[in-house]
Amino acid sequence: MDTTYNVKFWKTGVNEGKRKTTYTVRWELDGSEQRKTFITAALADSFRAGLVSAARKGEAFSLSTGLPVSYVSQAASVTWYDFAVQFVDQLWERTSANNRRNVAKALTPVTVALLRAQPAAFKGVDVRRALREYAFNTLRRDQAPPEVVVILRWVQRNSLSMAAWEDESAVDTALRAAWTKLDGTPVAASSARRSKRVLNVLFEYAIKKKVLKANPLPKGRGATATAAKTSSAVDKRSLLNREQAAKLLGWIYSRPRGGPRLHTFFAAMYYAGARPEEVVAIDVGDVRLPAADAGDQWGELLLHTAHPEVGRQWTNTGEVREQRGLKGRAVDDTRTVPCRPALTRILRAHIEREGLKPGDLLMQGEKGGDLAGSVIRRAWRRARKEALTPYEFGSPLGRRVYDLRHTCLTNWLNAGVPAATVAEWAGNSVPVLLATYARCIDGQLDDLKHRIEGAGELPDPSSPRV
């Protein structure tokens, strides 16, 4: 490798275009000008600072790449595929099954985009499946079938090096792939943000391992500009009124197979606002009900565990569901949710009917164990089809099981329960709660108008003075 120590730096150039402004770092090696353009000033300054630091340390620069020898020897010495696999493996044991799956989904399209050539001997869907289900799955990689092994070996041979992240055009190509679906439409904004978080963590790891000098991801709003805009607010059309909820839960209760059991699950979501993964994890000992002869009184549910459904290939136990703490809470934290008399009656009848005792799961499948998500979703889809009108069925009304939780939290807010209390019962922060449900709060407008009228109203100058 031809190198030189004769390096001269120029001031970063600012290029103001019609659509955007870019920033160019310029330097000379033995009189030969080198340049690299960035979309933000921060990236340009970071890159230039790295070059200046290398020169001050007496490091040689490569005449072929224009970069310090350390840049070339580290970033170019490892392929993106190998580094991504290494990243997955070091992350595996200290992250949840759901996060493992999200990491694999985020890395798959980027890996395909950073190939020297797109596969001709394999179908694109097979390449993506091999990457997502095996390459980026620490437990399953060594169990890959022969046809998958062939694909992964081809990907490894054809993967660009980590030095590709020093090329702005390669970065743009990789990010477009991350933010775009296979049909060419943008991914949801939430998916884009999730992928960006994964890549940020990966690049922090790359900097720590001295494979990269700086994080190549663009900063600010432009980082996910191609993603479709989505709102975190609940669609008011998805909320159920009392009659609609009664029809749906009544139809489910009358199902000949497991109807009462599933009715209890959906009632817990409708009345207590718990997440599905929290309801399936409730222990009978954590259901605090008043005595049977006490009449219609309130009880409470103690929530401290969640069983999210992520797929057996991502959990350490091989089970479809993973046992976790509550979302957004410290380990072993507990949340108390009031259990209104209607739900108290349903839960007491369910416990007696199933013969449950403390230590048992409140919601169980037909053969014991966790209630399967597929059973829950299938029953809810059938109930909507059978109990709702054709117009309601085709609308967003209760389209997702999660809409039962949205309905419950909205009812609490509309009943005048303070937002801080609802947030505590729901397991949300107050800002998230208000951002999600502000559009659904109603029934208090007349009272608010009267309050506004009485606040600081000026005297009418046309009225006679006393």
Query: What's this model's pTM, rounded to 2 decimal places?
Result: 0.72
What pLDDT digit, counting tens, does each position of 386-418 carry? 999 999 999 999 999 999 999 999 999 988 899
Tokens of 2: 């031809």
Q: Which whole-number Å values give the CA distances from 317 to 136, 249, 263, 314, 323, in the listed order?
A: 18, 34, 29, 9, 10
Q: Any idea how long the chain is?
A: 466
Query: Buried b vs exposed e over 102-126: b needs ≥16 C-beta within 10 Å?
Result: bbbbbbbbbbbbbbeeeeeeeeeee
Pick 260 or 292 by higher pLDDT: 260
What pLDDT digit, counting tens, does each position of 120-168 carry? 888 989 999 999 999 999 999 999 999 999 999 999 999 999 988 878 8
- Specify the pLDDT at position 225: 47
Q: Indicate whether 454 pLDDT > 70.
A: no
Q: What percent of the chain has pLDDT over 90?
A: 59
What is the pLDDT confidence band of residue 233, given thresholds at 50, 70 and 90?
confident
Q: Indicate whether 238 pLDDT > 90.
A: yes
How many other CB atoms sit within 10 Å of the CB of residue 76? Answer: 18
Give the pLDDT mean for 314-328: 87
Q: Which residues contact 87 (CB under 8 A, 6 or more apart)?
A: 107, 202, 205, 206
How many Cα atoms are found within 13 Å in the side-chain-facing hemisphere of 206?
31
Which of helix, strand or coil describes residue 429? Answer: coil
Angle of helix 403-414 versus helix 430-437 axis, rounded to 10: 100
> Pick from 283, 323, 328: which is nearest to 303 by CA?
283
Are 304 and 326 contacting, i.e. CB atoms less than 8 angstroms apart? yes
- Cα 446 → chain centroid: 38
Cα separation, 174 vs 115, in Å, equals 10
- Specify the pLDDT at position 154: 95
Question: Which of 246-255, 309-318, 442-451 is predicted least confidently?
Answer: 442-451
DSSP line for 46-59: HHHHHHHHHHHTT-
Are 87 and 202 contacting, i.e. CB atoms less than 8 angstroms apart? yes
Which of helix, strand or coil describes residue 68? Answer: strand
Helices (H) and strands (E) in the chain, counts: 18, 9
Q: Which residues contact 457 (CB under 8 A, 6 or more apart)?
A: none
Give the pLDDT mean for 293-322: 88
